[in-house]
Amino acid sequence: AEKVLGYDLLSLCLQGPRDALDRTQHCQPAVWAGGARVGWVRVPRGFPTSCGARVCLPQVVERCVAAAGYSVGEFAALVFAGAMGFAEALYAVKVRAEAMQRAAEAVPSGMLSVLGRPEANYRFACLEARRHCEALGIQNPVCTVSNYLFPDSRVIAGHLQALEFLQENARKYYFTRTKMLPVSGAFHTRLMEPAVEPLAEVLKSIEIQKPLLCVYSNVDGKKYMHSKHIQKLLVKQVVFPVLWEQTMHSVYQRKQGTEFPYTYEVGPGNQLGAILRKCNLKAWKQYKHVDPLEDEEEEET
C-alpha cells in the first residue's frame, strides 16, 4: 500500500496525527485498505455457520454468489469479485480521495445524518433549505439526499448553511434526530463534480474485468453487467446518492418461501448489519460479522 499511496498508511493509522487521518485523502484509503464496509458476501444455504470465521471463510469465498460495498467499499467488493487488482483499485481510491478532498475544500459543505418519522418529506425539506441558502446570497445551493440507508433514515448533504437550517427546523420536517457526520464535504452530490474527471481518467488506465460473481452498484442498486458498466457507474457514484436501502431490496428479493442466503459483513464494525436489520429482518437472521483484524489477533495468540 505504501508504494501505491506514497506514504506509510499503517503508521498514519496507528500513530496519527488524527487530524491528518481524518482528511478525506487519507481517510478513504485507510477505510478501504482496512476492509471496512466491504459489505455483503452473500452465500447460498447449505453449510454450517456455527464454526469460527477462520474455518468458514474459505467455504464462504468459494460459494459466494454476490457482493456489495458501501461508497468507497464498492471498490473492495469489485476486487473481491475479481474485477480489479488490489494495487490498481487502491490507486483509483487514492485518486478519488484526493480529488474529493480538493472539491470539499472549495466549498464549505458537509453531511447530515437524519432519522425521520414516516411522514417526513426529505425532498421538500431540502428544497426549503436551498431557498434559505439563496436568501443568504448563495448561488446554486446544494442540499439533497446523498445516502438512503433504511426506511426513515437518510443522509442529507450540501452547503453547511443548508444543513444548519435543517437542524434548526428539524421538528417542522418531522426529523426525530439529526447529527452532523465527521466528514469534510458533501459527498455523493454535484459539489463533487470536480472529482469526476480525475477518477474517470484513472479508471480508463486500469484493467477492469467482468466480475466473477454478482456485484451490486450503489448508483442504481442493480448488478454490474460488464467492465464498461463498472467504469461508468463508479464515476457516477461520486456525484450520485448511495442507494443502499434499494440495494438491499435487490439483493434479497426472492419468491415467497425461498430461504435467505447467509450474509457476511467483512471488516471492522458492523454498521451494515445494523442497517440490514432495519431493511430486512428475515435476511438479517442469517447475517454474521467477520473482522479480519480480530481474527489475525486470535491466530497470533
Which residues are annotated as catalytic?
71, 188
As a whole number of angstroms, the distance between CA 217 and CA 237 comes to 9
Do 266 and 241 form a contact (C-beta atoms < 8 A)? no
Do 114 and 175 form a contact (C-beta atoms < 8 A)? yes
Residue 138: all three cell numbers together: 448563495
Kindly report the three-state secondary structure assignment for every residue of 61-121.
Answer: HHHCCEEECCCCHHHHHHHHCCCCCHHHHHHHHHHHHHHHHHHHHHCCEEEEEEEECCCCC
